[in-house]
Amino acid sequence: MPAPVHNPVPQRSWEAAAFPCGTLPLDFVGTLRARRNAAPAEKLATPELLDDWFVEAKMLDAAPEADEVDLETAIDLREVIYSLVAARLAAEPLPAADVAELNRHAAGLPVKAQLGPDGVMHTGSVSQGLAALARETVEILGGDEGALLRECARPECTQVYLDRSRGHRREWCAMRTCGNRVKAAAYRARQSGATV
């Protein structure tokens, strides 16, 4: 799969809006924003940003000290997950090579959980964090939750989420971001039409 052309966005801290999906593999896929744009926004532009993502996602309590190879591996896995999710959304067969790559990652060592004086401490390497993301992806795609996969209804957004809402009527990856933008744009359109 060719690597996407993207626009790096330097950033050291992940805001809450970076985790709208309620499931970490889909939030991880969302680290490449606006995928259909000519230059998508890359949120994992450096190994340090990958470290920050693992900590802010609360997968690891300490940065795994990612390097450039770790970053390339993480981005490759992210794109594999996206390819599989996109195939599931389109009701197409899952690409065999991507399934094999996902399963290879899922077989990796787990993140370490240890009890300490301040409670549970989660530590591990980038590959252990990626293994956790891969295992959760396997559970989503291979289980009942795969039927809940949706893509955000805001055309500029390509974030995928699990629609666990009552009646499965959720339209946006997050109301506070995409939902509000769409509603504000519709309001402005109505206002400009009324004044013409």
Total-model pTM: 0.82
DSSP assignment of 110-170 equals PPEEEEETTEEEEE--HHHHHHHHHHHHHHHHHSGGGGGEEE-SSTT---EEE--SGGG--
> What pLDDT shows up at residue 22?
76
Q: Which residues contact 147 (CB under 8 A, 6 or more apart)?
A: none
From CA 15, how far away is CA 66, in angstroms rounded?
20
> What pLDDT shows up at residue 30?
92
Q: Are strands 149-151 and 160-162 parallel, antiparallel or unpaired?
A: antiparallel
The model's pLDDT over 159-181, given as tens digits with 9 standing for 90+, comes to 898 988 787 777 767 656 675 56
The model's pLDDT over 56-109, given as tens digits with 9 standing for 90+, comes to 999 999 999 999 999 999 999 999 999 999 999 999 999 999 999 999 999 999
Asked if residue 125 has pLDDT above 50, the reply is yes
